[in-house]
Amino acid sequence: MLTILSTNSDQQHALFSRSSNLDPWNIRPPQCRSRFLLLHPLPTFRPSVRRVHTLSSWLKMSEKDCSRRNSFCWNKLHSRILAFSMCLIILILVIIIVIWLLLRPTKPKFLLQDVSLYMLNLSAPNLLSSYLQITISSRNPNDRFGIYYDNLDTFAEYKHQQITAVAALPVGYQGHNDVEIWSQNLYGIDVSIAPFAADSITQEVNAGLLLIYVRLEGRLRWKVGSWISSHYHIYASCPALLTADNGKSGGRSSAYRFEQRTPCIVNI
């Protein structure tokens, strides 16, 4: 009987070993095993896949990575250079604007001090002859800027029509707050004017009043320290209201005199 039991035990042990190699959960009864598996599922194992790179594939990847890195570095360098250039340009512009606002030059002041009209003859067909003498003063109101007058011309105008020839005024350097006074004679012989201007000048002469304009045109340069600017065009318009002199100008029959000093309108 002991032998039968031993044989049975050996068979059971062999059966248990065979079944345990197949499924470690077979040690549990079937009704408990299914419930256990539902509550505690078996772990899943994923085998790790190792990539094997050959020398040619590694070289290709290295070249690609290097090209990407170089392009990124070049783009970053270009963006930094562009940002630095923009900042430098903005800084220079700000400095120029600040200096210009602090040292902004003021336009020169022109004053028409005297005008004497000694001759004014209107003949047919609409030809005007005139002779007048003018006196103009110029003042530089700047404390830091000097003015170089390269050329300055003057002439008389009536109803936006030039009635005398162009005469040049003395030019040169005008220092800070300096005043220059110029006198010039203006002539116009048989100057053709428009019919409406001839009718208007006849009416004003009969009324004893005459309004003409003395124009100035030229070029100047600003000077501050050792720096001299480029050329700027200057235009000045000086109105002159004249009244008949009634024979008080030494026997000249058509003499007119200037009423009062007038400031000129200056544009640069």
Predicted structure pTM score: 0.61
User: Do residues 110 and 227 touch, judged by C-beta distance below 8 A?
Assistant: no
Q: How much is the average pLDDT of 223-228? A: 84
User: Do residues 186 and 156 touch, judged by C-beta distance below 8 A?
Assistant: yes
Residue 243 has pLDDT above 80, yes or no: yes
Instruction: Report the percent of the chain where pLDDT is more than 90.
Output: 35
Residue 138 has pLDDT above 90, yes or no: yes
Residue 7 has pLDDT above 70, yes or no: no
Residue 264 has pLDDT above 60, yes or no: yes
Cα distances (Å, whole numbers) of residue 257 to 84, 169, 206: 66, 22, 15
At 80-91, the pLDDT tens digits run: 888 888 999 999
Q: How much is the average pLDDT of 212-223? A: 93
Q: How much is the average pLDDT of 241-264? A: 71
Pair of tokens at residue 38 = 């539902």
pLDDT of residue 51: 53
Ranking 3-7, 112-116, 205-209 by mean pLDDT, the lowest is 3-7
pLDDT of residue 72: 56
Instruction: Report the percent of the chain where pLDDT is more than 70.
Output: 68
Residue 165 sits at the vertex; the CA angle it makes with 123 and 133, to the nearest 5 degrees, is 90
Domain boundaries, the chain: 109-267
2.60.40, 2.60.120, 3.10.20, 1.10.150: which CATH number matches 109-267?
2.60.40
Q: How much is the average pLDDT of 47-75? A: 55
Residue 134 has pLDDT above 70, yes or no: yes
Of residues 100, 173, 183, 115, the one with CA closest to residue 140: 173
* More confident site: 37 or 135: 135
